[in-house]
């Protein structure tokens, strides 16, 4: 009799637990943050709590934007840029840490990723107005102030100094990923079971769907965004994609991406898209840009040497190249 009662109780508990799980819903909101499209998805017990959670994530992203934005004249980043060649600027530990990590990624990628790219003169135009290549001397001048090695950090005083007038830093190739990571961390600390922060292709996930299934990300065909090459599960992980299929120019029958190599001043060619998979969206964001610039062979060689990081590259001929740990799932 005890066994029968215990069995009934177990069945009841499982059914009740299943019903509780079924009450969870998916709540989603799309909005513009940091000048780009953010899509925030959370698993929540009801719509009201879901939207409260999303609003908290939005506030966190807006807080970060006020620190790293180059457009906000009162941001810490703007103050660093305004004082280039004048004096060091005391910054928050948060921004200091982000700059330190950015410099480490620059060293790892031989300068293919470099936050001082913001010093570059805008001589390349990707709005259809450009009909000829800029001359070589203009290109050399445009990158004269670039160089992550020039940034002077003082950890004791928490100051950042750009020693040359006209030097600038910008977080366009790492900021969205960092913001997505911070928003995720906040929601996890609030007990949100699962979700996705998608910052215009810089995406981080945690938990699972309400069904218990893994979140999936599709690798898009650069020639046809309606087609997907394959699907990959993203478990407590992140992915970022850099592509040239929306913003590029063609000169002398050669296609040039809007992604410019900060070491040379020339746009990249030969790659259509790069997707990087890692635990942190910040890392994915920065490495996607770096691998795009490094090129297929050098880029894959680099990724294959970094633990916990994978890459999928689609070259200019629409052929797929993968790092050693990537396995495609073509049936979502």
Residue 92 lies in a domain: yes
For residue 93, is it within any domain? Answer: yes
Q: What is the dihedral of CA 106, 112, 113, 114, to 10 degrees?
A: 80
Domain for residue 131, yes or no? yes
Instruction: Judge whether 118 lies within some domain.
Output: yes
Task: List pLDDT tens digits, range 238-284.
Answer: 999 998 877 888 888 888 888 999 999 999 988 999 999 999 999 99
Count of domains observed in the chain? 1
The angle at the Cα of 284, spanning 176 to 223, to the nearest 5 degrees, equals 90
Both tokens of residue 40? 């925030």
> What does pLDDT average to in each consecutive run of 10 residues of the chain (332 residues)?
42 45 86 96 97 98 97 96 98 98 98 97 86 91 96 98 97 96 97 96 94 88 70 90 83 86 93 95 97 97 97 92 80 46
What is the structure's pLDDT at 279?
Answer: 96
Distances (CA, A) of 101 to 120, 282, 311: 21, 10, 20
Cα separation, 309 vs 288, whole angstroms:
11
In a domain, 181, yes or no: no
Q: Compute the distance between CA of residue 41 and CA of residue 39 in angstroms, rounded to an integer.
A: 7
Structural domain contains residue 54: no
Domain encompassing residue 133: 76-161
Closest by CA to 280, choosing from 252, 299, 308, 258, is 308
186 falls within a domain: no
CATH, residue 140 = 1.10.3980.10
Whether residue 82 lies inside any domain: the answer is yes
What CA–CA distances, in Å, run from 37 to 19, 120, 198, 228, 292? 35, 25, 8, 21, 22
pTM confidence score: 0.89
How many whole angstroms separate alpha carbon 291 and alpha carbon 314? Answer: 12
């Amino acid at each position: 009799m005890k066994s029968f009662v215990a069995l009934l109780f177990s069945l009841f508990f499982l059914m009740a637990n299943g019903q509780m799980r079924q009450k969870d819903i998916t709540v989603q909101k799309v909005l513009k943050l940091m000048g780009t499209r953010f899509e925030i998805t959370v698993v929540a017990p009801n719509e009201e709590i879901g939207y409260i959670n999303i609003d908290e994530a939005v506030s966190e992203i807006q807080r970060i934007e006020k620190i790293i934005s180059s457009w906000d004249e009162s941001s810490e980043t703007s103050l660093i840029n305004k004082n280039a060649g004048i004096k060091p600027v005391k910054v928050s530990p948060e921004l200091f840490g982000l700059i330190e990590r950015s410099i480490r990624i620059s060293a790892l990628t031989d300068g293919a990723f470099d936050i001082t790219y913001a010093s570059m003169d805008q001589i390349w135009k990707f709005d259809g107005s450009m009909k000829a290549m800029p001359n070589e001397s203009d290109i050399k001048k445009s990158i004269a102030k670039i160089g992550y090695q020039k940034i002077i950090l003082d950890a004791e005083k928490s100051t950042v100094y750009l020693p040359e007038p006209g030097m600038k830093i910008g977080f366009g190739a790492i900021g969205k990923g960092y913001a997505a990571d911070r928003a995720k961390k906040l929601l996890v600390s609030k007990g949100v079971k699962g979700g996705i922060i998608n910052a215009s292709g810089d995406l981080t996930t945690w938990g699972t769907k309400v069904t218990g299934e893994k979140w999936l990300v599709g690798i898009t065909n650069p020639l046809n965004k309606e087609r997907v090459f394959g699907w990959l599960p993203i478990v407590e992980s992140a992915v970022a994609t850099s592509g040239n299929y929306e913003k590029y120019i063609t000169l002398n029958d050669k296609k040039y991406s809007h992604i410019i190599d900060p070491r040379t001043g020339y746009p990249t060619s030969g790659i259509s898209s790069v997707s990087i998979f890692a635990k942190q969206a910040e890392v994915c964001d920065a490495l996607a840009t770096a691998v795009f610039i490094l090129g297929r062979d050098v880029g894959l060689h680099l990724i294959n040497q970094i633990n916990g990081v994978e890459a999928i590259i689609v070259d200019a001929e629409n052929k797929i190249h993968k790092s050693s740990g990537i396995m495609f799932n073509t049936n979502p």
